[in-house]
Structure 1
Amino acid sequence: MTNKFEFLARWGYAARGVVYITLGLIALLGSSAGEEASTHGALSNLLGQPFGRFLLGTVAIGLVGHVLWRLAQALLNADNQENNLKGYLARGGNLASGIINGVLALAAARLVIASGGSSDGGGSPAAWLMQQPFGRFLVGVLGLVIIAAGAVQAWRGISGKYRERLQLPSGKSDLLGGVSVFGLVARGVVLSITGGFFVFAAVVVDSAQAGSVPEALDWVRNLPSGTYLYALAAAGLVAFGLYSFIEARYRRIDAPEQADVKRGMAKAASAVDRLS
């Protein structure tokens, strides 16, 4: 490992893997027992395990590392994206991912501090957005962004684009590649369904219609042959968790040096000063 930032980035991918494997297993095995197949439910489940507070704290720290890595990708262009529309969209997606994982890290930290209290992390993002000026428009745009992000993720799996930054060992390439494709496609589909709920919420002006992972899985279960599709989607979330571990081990990470981070922070501070 080249520096501590790379260690944090890999730790972050592994932490995301723990969350999604737990989420998928809850959906596969725990839903009949009333457990919530959501990211909050997955975090609460981790807290209930032996040494749960330590485990969840470790995941929370890892998620913070993942956020920092996403910010480095977005703001410092750590992946060396080209200065074109495609590159800017990729960096924008990394920024959005950083924000989402930041919320997840905060939820994990709150659960650790509260010892698994009954806090549900507050109202939904759609409810908050709907209360803002042009709230209906904002919720609709967010839904379209989520749909696009899910479609791009699924396409990265189907097209093999995910391999561009992975250095898979030749003897395990097919197996690890198969798990990666399955996980990326499944998570992309679930993400797109979730985005569709946000768009529907904007159309009917009802934030309660903006669902998340549980609602997306329930929608799949109500389709023809839904029981099998639900199990496939849940298994796909487990596969995405395994893909996160694959990234933690085999992804090429061009971690920024300390001087790059300082320059980025100086630029951000300068931009804030200009806006204030």
Structure 2
Amino acid sequence: MAMSNKFELLARWGYTARGAVYAILGALALTAAASGGSSSQDSPKDALSSLLGQPFGQILLGIVAIGLVGHVLWRFAQAFLNADHLDNDAKGYLVRAGSLISGLANLSLAFAACSLAISASSGSGSGSGGEESISAWLMQQPFGQVLVGAVGVGLIIGGGAQVWRGFSGQYRKRVKLPQDGEAALNAICVFGLSARGILLAISGGFFIYAALTVNPEQAGGLSDGLAWVRQLPFGLFLYGLAAIGLIAFGVYSGIEGRYRKVDAPDSGDVKQAANKMGSLAGH
């Protein structure tokens, strides 16, 4: 597959890197489910940290970190440059807003990967982060309680949209699956999108609860969502199912990296967008 420019290569690299993180995260959770418990290492940052224990771990982590940065840049290109050429209507703007939210969410993951890579090479410890720190920062802003609640609502809507994209087949408008094994790959993609969508919606519920209680510590991410699922009736089975779903989402991300339609912006698109923003700022 010929790459139209370096940005396209970075975008595809980003999807693949995201897939690696989720596949590792799902594998960690599945291992815990197989042993009859829940994992204390089932956050995306733990998945990144596990790479350091592999041969050439620092190099692998650096490759993933660069890919995650590329994924963030691609999401911003979708949001600000309309890289997917969406219509300028309510639906198009809503999808672009979703890309922006996704980019901001993956920014923390990219930052964690870069921090781990740098701290590993220097031998220093890594700082803490996560949904609680994001929620705490938002809570300190004007109308912070509303902002945290809005993030929660956005996560619920985004999660529901991801489930719908899977079951409705909307994702296939931009991802052309190969004919060999198409049915099996489609099943994996639908399952992966649905599992991650449900966990995103659960995370959104945590953010809304944090806003209502004015307590940033109540905010939660994927690891908290998995822990909540574990407490449900038939929790161990559901926990294992969610873990397999995260692995499936990792496979889906890898498929996106290979087969997704990527109309990456070139330098001319970036300059045109910058000039437009500059003219708007001048007025």
- Once the two structures are TM-superposed, the CA of residue 5 in structure 1 deviates from its matched residue by 1.2
CA contact (8 A) 1:201 1:207 kept: yes
Supply the distance in 1 between the matched residues of 2:219 and 2:40 (Cα, whole angstroms).
20
Q: 1:161 aligns with which of 170, 174, 180?
A: 170
Question: CA offsets per residue over residues 66-98 of structure 1, 9 Å max, x none?
Answer: 111111111111111011110000001111111
Q: 1:192 aligns with which of 186, 201, 213?
A: 201
Give the superposed CA RMSD.
1.7
Supply the distance in 2 between the matched residues of 1:214 and 1:230 (Cα, whole angstroms).
11
Given residue 244 of structure 2, which amino acid in structure 1 is its aligned partner?
A
Question: Structure 1 vs Structure 2: percent identity of aligned residues?
Answer: 56
Partner of 2:127: 119
In the comparison of the two structures, how many residue pairs are matched? 274
Partner of 2:153: 144
Is the partner of 1:124 in helix, strand or coil? helix
Supply the distance in 1 between the matched residues of 2:280 and 2:129 (Cα, whole angstroms).
31
Structure 2: gaps spanning 5 or more residues: none
Partner of 2:103: 98
Partner of 1:235: 244
Supply the distance in 2 between the matched residues of 1:5 and 1:157 (Cα, whole angstroms).
26
Supply the distance in 1 between the matched residues of 2:279 and 2:128 (Cα, whole angstroms).
36
Q: 1:53 aligns with which of 52, 58, 67?
A: 58
Supply the distance in 1 between the matched residues of 2:148 and 2:14 (Cα, whole angstroms).
28
Supply the distance in 2 between the matched residues of 1:273 and 1:44 (Cα, whole angstroms).
45
- Once the two structures are TM-superposed, the CA of residue 118 in structure 1 deviates from its matched residue by 4.0
Partner of 1:81: 86
Supply the distance in 1 between the matched residues of 2:269 and 2:245 (Cα, whole angstroms).
37
Is the partner of 2:30 in helix, strand or coil? helix
CA contact (8 A) 1:40 1:120 kept: no
Q: 1:29 aligns with which of 23, 28, 31?
A: 31
CA contact (8 A) 1:73 1:91 kept: yes
Supply the distance in 1 between the matched residues of 2:234 and 2:269 (Cα, whole angstroms).
52
Q: 2:70 aligns with which of 65, 82, 87?
A: 65
Given residue 111 of structure 1, which amino acid in structure 2 is its aligned partner?
L
Partner of 2:219: 210
Q: Name which of structure 1's ranges 215-224 and 114-123 shifts more when overlaid on structure 2.
A: 114-123
Partner of 2:267: 258
CA contact (8 A) 1:26 1:35 kept: no
Question: CA offsets per residue over residues 209-244 of structure 1, 9 Å max, x none?
Answer: 111111111111111111101100111001000000
Q: Structure 1-normalised TM-score? A: 0.94
Question: CA offsets per residue over residues 92-122 of structure 1, 9 Å max, x none?
Answer: 1111111122221111111111117242237
Given residue 12 of structure 1, which amino acid in structure 2 is its aligned partner?
G
Supply the distance in 2 between the matched residues of 1:273 and 1:16 (Cα, whole angstroms).
38
Is the partner of 1:170 in helix, strand or coil? coil
